[in-house]
Chains A and B, each alone.
Chain A
Amino acid sequence: MEHYNMNLTLKVWKQKNAKAAGRFETYQVKGISSEMSFLEMFDVLNEQLIAEGKEPVAFDHDCREGICGMCSMYINGRAHGPWHHNTTCQLHMREYKDGDTIVVEPWRADAFPVIKDLVVNRNSFDHIVQAGGYISVNTGNAQDANSLPIEKQKADDSFAAAACIGCGACVAACPNASAMLFLSAKVAHLAYLPQGDVERKERVVNMVHQMDKEGFGSCTNIGACEAECPKGISLENIAKLNREYMVATFAGDR
C-alpha cells in the first residue's frame, strides 16, 4: 500500500472530570503518516499541544497490540472506529484521507463516568466480575489437566467467550448502554466448563444483580454490541446467559 501523509481536523471531547461539563475542542494535526496507528496520531497531537504549552488530551491505552482492553475511543460514531473486530490501537491512519475531520468521544454511559477527557472509569465491570466471575478451588498441587475431560466444542465455546478483554465497547455501542454482552461472556466462559458448574446458578444471578446495581441499561437484543466487539464475542453468549438465568430461576435451590 502506498504511503502518504495527511492533514486532519480533530474534534475531541474535553472534560475536566466526571462532574464538569464537557465540550468539543477542535485541533489541526499535520503530516500524519498513513502507517501510524490511531493512538500514535494522538501522540503526535499531544506532543504538539505540549510544545504549544497547552494541556494534552487524556486517553486510555496500554498494550497497543489489541489485547489489553484499555483503549476506548468512540470515533465518528463507532466504538473503536470503523474497522471490524478491531481495537482503537489497531486502527491505522490509512483508513483516513487528507483533509478528513474525525470526531472522537469517550464511551458514554452512566455506568462509565468520565475521569478526564476520553478516559472513563470502568470499575463497574470489575464489580460484576467480583460478584461471581470466578471459581472457588482448594489450593494445593495442580491436578493433571487430562483428569478433567472436556469436549472440544465446549472448550472452543468457552475459549471464544473468554476472549472478552472487558474494553466496554459493547456498552458504548448499545443504545441502552447495557453490559449484557460483557456479562454473558464472563458467565458463559465458566458455564461451559466443568470447573464452573459447581457455582453456576449463584454466579449468574449474582452477576446479573450486580450489573443492574451498576446502572447499566437492559438488553433488548439490538445487536450493536456484537457488531462493535473487537473480539467477536457472539450474541450466542447472551442466549447462553439467558438459559443459565432460567435454570437458576426455575431450577435453583433458593
Chain B
Amino acid sequence: MDAVFLARLQFAMTALFHFIFVPLTLGLSVLVAIMETKYVKTGDETYLRMTKFFGKLFLINFALGLVTGITLEFQFGMNWARYSKFVGDIFGPPLAIEATLAFFLESTFLGVWIFGWKKVSKVMHAASMWLVAFGTSVSALWILIANAWMQHPVGFVVRNGRAEFTDFMAAATQPYAILKFLHTVTAGYVVGAFFVMGVSAYHLLRNNEVDLFKKAFKIGAAFGVFATIVVFIIGDMHAAEVAKTQPTKLAAMESVWNSEKGAPMYLFIVPDEKHHKNAVELFGIPKALSMIAYHDPNATVKGLNDFPKGDTPPVLITFASFRSMVGLGTLFVLVALLAFLFIRKDNLIDKKWFLKAMVWAIPFPYIAIEFGWVVAEVGRQPWIVYGLMKTSQATSLAVTIPQIIMSLAGFVVLYSILGIIDIYLLIKYAKEGPEAASVTAVEGGK
C-alpha cells in the first residue's frame, strides 16, 4: 500500500459517502419547496403537513451532507498538496465562489426555514426553501465546473510552474461543465422523486394518510417522469462530450480494445484486462457505438491498445459501473412512467405489487449515482487533470503513510457510525409518518 493509493482510497471513500446525502438534498429541496408552494397557493393543510413531514426527512439527510462536505474542501490541501499548488489558480476560485454564492444562501435560509415558521410570512417561508434549493444547485454548478476542469482543462496556460487562468469564462461555460451539472442535478431529482414515491408507497400500502400520500406520490411521479427522461437525454449528450474530450475514458466505458471504424456496440461483454481484450463479446449492434459516441455511423472509435501504455484507466470497473448506471437509468424511466400512469388512472392503491416495488426502489437511484461518479473519476485515471497532471504526481509529500492510515481509519469509523445513525433516523421518521411528526413536537422531542 503506497501513499498515493491510500490518499485515493480516502478521497474516494469520503467523496462517495458525501454523495449519498447530496443527491437527496438536491432533489428533495425542490420537492419540499413545491409542496409548500402548493400549500401557500391552495391553503390546503394537507400540503402543509406533507411539507413538514418531508421537510423533517430533508433535514435529517441534510445534516450529514453538510458536515461531510467540509472534509472534501480541506482534503485537497491535506492529501493533494502538489495538485493544489499546481492548479490552485484555477481550481480554488470555483470552490471559493461556491462557498460565497451557495453555502451562505443554503445555510442561512435553511435556518430561516427550520426555525422561522412563526417569524416570517408564509410566502417568505416557502421562498426560503426555494432559496435553499437554488443555493444547492448553485453549489453543484460551481463544484462541477471545478470537476469538469479536471476532466477537460480549458482556458489556462502553464506558467511559473503551474496552471494559470487565462479565460475564466471558458472553464465556467464549457459544455463539459454544463452537461455534467445538468446530469448531476437531474440525477439528484431522480433520487428525490423516487424517495418521495417510495415513502408514500410505504404508507399507501398501510392505508395510512391515503389522501396526503396520494398527493405526494403524484408530485413525486410527475417530477420523476421529467427527471428520469432529462437525466437520460443529458447523459447521452454527456457521453458524446466524453468521447470528444476523453477518448481513453470512453474506450474504458465501452471496453473497446482495438480501434475500429464504424464500431459496433455489444450488449454483453466480459473484459479481460490482463490480455487487453474482451473474453466475451455477444449481441453486437453494427456501427451503434460510433453512432452513439460520435453521432456518425462510420466514425472511428479509438481502442485502449492504441493509447500510450500507462495512459489508460482501469477497464473492468469503469465498464461495469457505466453499464450498470445506464441500465438502471433506463429502468428508472420505465418505472417513473408506470408510476405516473397508475396515479393518473387512480388505480395505484390496487397495485400492491407496484407499491411494494416502489418502496424497494428507493436505494437504486443512489446506486446509479455512485456508479456514475466511479465512471467519472476512475475513468479519468491515471490523470488527476486529464492530459495535464498524473494522479501519482499530485499527493502531499509532507504527509506520511501512518498519518493517512490514521485519518482513513478515523473517517471509516466515524462515517460508518454516523451513516448508520442517519439512515436509521431517516427510516424511523419516514415510517412514523406525518401524524407522528407533530406528536413528537408536542412532547418537545425534537
Q: Do A and B come from one complex?
A: no
Q: Hey, which bits of chain B sit against chain A, CB under 8 A?
A: none
